[in-house]
A and B are shown apart, each in its own frame.
Chain A
């Protein structure tokens, strides 16, 4: 087993990862990390009772999902960037799962633009969508990993 630098860590993940399918599994894991983790990062178990607190949290989770020195990306932008780079890996059942995420993201995109003026029911709808996106991303990663082990 090859080693990286002087760290003594194996360069390859342990079996039973199948090399041919690593691209799909890795890409799905990346989506889980970049989007599923971030889109409900500060969410409580039940939505905030105070509307402005809910709006503020959704702003952090959905409108500024990832940030670095060059600026921030919304959840929709994170997904777009991922799909552009990794979308080609997904076909069949996994492709349909990506399409489901995309359709939820489209609704998220529309609501995010109007976030400052959303009504309480619309904010709750957006919160439910974040839950759905996170859940779909997790399911995608699990299925992709299962496929890669076959």
Chain B
């Protein structure tokens, strides 16, 4: 996790044929095609996992892997620790099936060892029959040779590869907003670039701590090119009675205490961006006023009869639950959607206001648990921010002096090492050492508070190491080591887990009452039966909470509302003897 930059992007080709590597060497001389050594021979492509692994795990791992989907090697050669299949008819059939997807097996291993490396999967298919698996394994892009009627598949591959590298080379932060390199964030980046300069209202969605307000303040507003101010307004913090005045302004004497005319946030954001945070908390009357402002482009100060045009561009933010309602609203319109229908029936949010906020174009920030490949870069940037703080720098300098090292001055003179090996290999003068086990725990952690929580816990650990740790020491390579305390990190992670909020939305309570003598506690004559009843109860509760929507159930259970997950939930629901019709 050193802060130094790389001069040339490194590419590792994993393919049983040499032509991809040859083409890249010829058509993309700006890239370094990594050499693979096998049996005393050097070549520009790895033909198997066995040949690729040393490069992937070496000191100079690739930036991008170009991986073929189909190999002609026997499994035993491609994946050396696989057991030979034998020669039975079933084994032959299995071997044949596997041949079409051998690249996925390599991708699976690669993801386990190097989740941060981009992968370009190449195939001759018109579509990938195993696309779901490929997506789950986070392939960054695909090239479909068969889709190219006129030009060669190799040329398409080169252009896709360059695009991946451009995206990877883009700054990881814009202002304080962290992008990362995960597929979801790269897609979001493209979407933001397209939508930010337009005048249309936008909806930003995502769980707490994912950076919604930073995205609007540091990215969308500057990209909009609007000369006016960025004004943030938290809909949850203003009492209902004062909302109209706060949003649209008030005339003197319009209410007790209104001693002078005052503008609202719409006027303050003239020709700029008005960011309405936590819009789901907006009171119904205020929703109606906001809808009018968005529909007609006019506002009216409290106490005034005159309507005046406004020029603020509205960007609203909401949590994931509203996002779900919004996206469904876009597809099915309000009344037919169960979740939104319930909200509408409750009067908690107006469907026409949601529609006005362009829910189909919503900018969705994924939870950190769905972009774990971004953790190393996020950790490095968090450490950089800590390092850049003058107060921390002074404290670090005194630790370094006490250890007998030179004053750390250059901005990139530190490394956050997440293993002993990385600490040994570091070329930096100062190395913060995070034990491998602690880093592994951080990578596994669900991070309910998302980026905010990650940054806070890592910054707390760094501060503890600098201000209350055992001090620094000089290693054999002349580097100053500052160890982070793994016990403290585990404690912080455990605390974060204990404070994890219930699943988003209307407060799923499927398990909550079991420990306190709830009437819903299941009874059974055996442990297995109890387990089954427990699962039935939980699924029934979740079914009710989700309004009978299996996609929403899947989202709450697994974080993914994909059709595949929804189908799996439905299957399990039915297998437990439950019926959607009966439960409704």
> B16 in the interface, Cβ–Cβ < 8 Å?
yes
Do the beta carbons of B152 and A42 come within 8 Å of each other? yes
How many chain B residues touch the partner (CB < 8 A)? 38
Question: Can you give 12 contacting A-B residue pairs, CB < 8 Å?
Answer: A4-B105, A7-B108, A8-B108, A9-B104, A37-B146, A38-B19, A41-B152, A45-B150, A61-B152, A67-B18, A138-B126, A141-B126
Do the beta carbons of A141 and B17 come within 8 Å of each other? no
Besides A17-B129, A45-B150, 19 other CB < 8 A contacts? A4-B94, A5-B79, A5-B82, A8-B108, A9-B101, A9-B104, A11-B94, A29-B100, A32-B124, A32-B125, A33-B70, A36-B145, A37-B145, A40-B151, A42-B26, A42-B152, A68-B16, A138-B146, A142-B126
**Count of CB-CB pairs between chains A and B under 8 Å:** 91
Contact with A along B116-127 (1 / 0, CB 8 A): 000000011110
Do the beta carbons of B149 and A135 come within 8 Å of each other? yes
Contact with A along B96-139 (1 / 0, CB 8 A): 11101100110010000000000000011110011011000000
Q: Which residues of A contact B130 (CB under 8 A)?
A: 9, 13
Q: Which residues of B contact A41 (CB under 8 A)?
A: 19, 23, 145, 152-154
Q: Which residues of B contact A59 (CB under 8 A)?
A: none
> B380 in the interface, Cβ–Cβ < 8 Å?
no
Q: Which residues of A contact B16 (CB under 8 A)?
A: 68
Give bound CA distance, A120 to B79, whole Å: 46
Q: Which residues of A contact B97 (CB under 8 A)?
A: 11-13
Give bound CA distance, A10 to B133, whole Å: 9
Do the beta carbons of B146 and A32 come within 8 Å of each other? yes
Give bound CA distance, A137 to B18, whole Å: 22
Q: What is the chain A residue whose CB lies nearest that of B27?
A: A42
Q: Which residues of A contact B150 (CB under 8 A)?
A: 45
A9-35 interface with B by 8 A CB criterion? 9-14, 17, 26, 29-30, 32-33
Q: Which residues of A contact B82 (CB under 8 A)?
A: 5
Give bound CA distance, A141 to B97, whole Å: 16
Give bound CA distance, A138 to B96, whole Å: 20
Give bound CA distance, A41 to B24, whole Å: 12
Q: Which residues of A contact B155 (CB under 8 A)?
A: 42-45
Give bound CA distance, A37 to B148, whole Å: 9
Give bound CA distance, A8 to B27, whole Å: 37
4 tightest A-B contacts by CB? A43-B152, A33-B124, A37-B124, A37-B145
Do the beta carbons of A38 and B17 come within 8 Å of each other? yes
A53-107 interface with B by 8 A CB criterion? 60-61, 66-68
Give bound CA distance, A17 to B146, whole Å: 20
Give bound CA distance, A10 to B19, whole Å: 30
Do the beta carbons of B105 and A9 come within 8 Å of each other? yes
Q: What is the chain B residue whose CB lies nearest that of A5?
A: B82
Do the beta carbons of A36 and B154 come within 8 Å of each other? no
Contact of B108 among A9, A10, A43, A60 (CB under 8 A): A9
Contact with A along B15-41 (1 / 0, CB 8 A): 011110011001100000000000000
Do the beta carbons of B149 and A29 come within 8 Å of each other? no
Minimum CB–CB distance from B208 to chain A (whole Å) comes to 31
Give bound CA distance, A37 to B104, whole Å: 19
Q: Which residues of B contact A138 (CB under 8 A)?
A: 126, 146
Give bound CA distance, A14 to B94, whole Å: 14
Q: Which residues of B contact A17 (CB under 8 A)?
A: 129
A29-B17 CB under 8 A given contacts A7-B108, A40-B152:
no
Minimum CB–CB distance from A4 to chain B (whole Å) comes to 7
Q: What is the chain B residue whose CB lies nearest that of A19?
A: B93
Contact of A36 among B96, B108, B124 (CB under 8 A): B124
Most A CB contacts (10 A, CB to CB) among B70, B96, B152 go to B152
Q: Which residues of A contact B104 (CB under 8 A)?
A: 9
Contact with A along B444-471 (1 / 0, CB 8 A): 0000000000000000000000000000
Minimum CB–CB distance from A83 to chain B (whole Å) comes to 16
Give bound CA distance, A26 to B148, whole Å: 20
Minimum CB–CB distance from A80 to chain B (whole Å) comes to 16
Do the beta carbons of B124 and A45 come within 8 Å of each other? no
Give bound CA distance, A135 to B149, whole Å: 7
Give bound CA distance, A33 to B145, whole Å: 8
Give bound CA distance, A68 to B105, whole Å: 22
Give bound CA distance, A61 to B153, whole Å: 12
Do the beta carbons of A29 and B133 come within 8 Å of each other? no
Minimum CB–CB distance from A97 to chain B (whole Å) comes to 15
Q: Which residues of A contact B79 (CB under 8 A)?
A: 5
Contact with A along B217-245 (1 / 0, CB 8 A): 00000000000000000000000000000
Minimum CB–CB distance from A32 to chain B (whole Å) comes to 5
Minimum CB–CB distance from A3 to chain B (whole Å) comes to 12
Give bound CA distance, A11 to B26, whole Å: 38
A60-B19 CB under 8 A given contacts A29-B124, A32-B125, A36-B146:
yes
Most A CB contacts (10 A, CB to CB) among B19, B124, B149, B155 go to B124
B139-196 interface with A by 8 A CB criterion? 145-146, 148-155
Q: Which residues of B contact A32 (CB under 8 A)?
A: 124-125, 145-146
Give bound CA distance, A100 to B133, whole Å: 35
Q: What is the chain B residue whose CB lies nearest that of A33?
A: B124
Do the beta carbons of A13 and B129 come within 8 Å of each other? yes
Q: Which residues of B contact A5 (CB under 8 A)?
A: 79, 82, 105
Give bound CA distance, A67 to B94, whole Å: 26
Minimum CB–CB distance from A82 to chain B (whole Å) comes to 12
Q: What is the chain A residue whose CB lies nearest that of B96?
A: A26
Q: Which residues of B contact A37 (CB under 8 A)?
A: 124, 145-146, 153
Do the beta carbons of A7 and B105 come within 8 Å of each other? yes
Q: Which residues of A contact B148 (CB under 8 A)?
A: 40
B83-99 interface with A by 8 A CB criterion? 94, 96-98
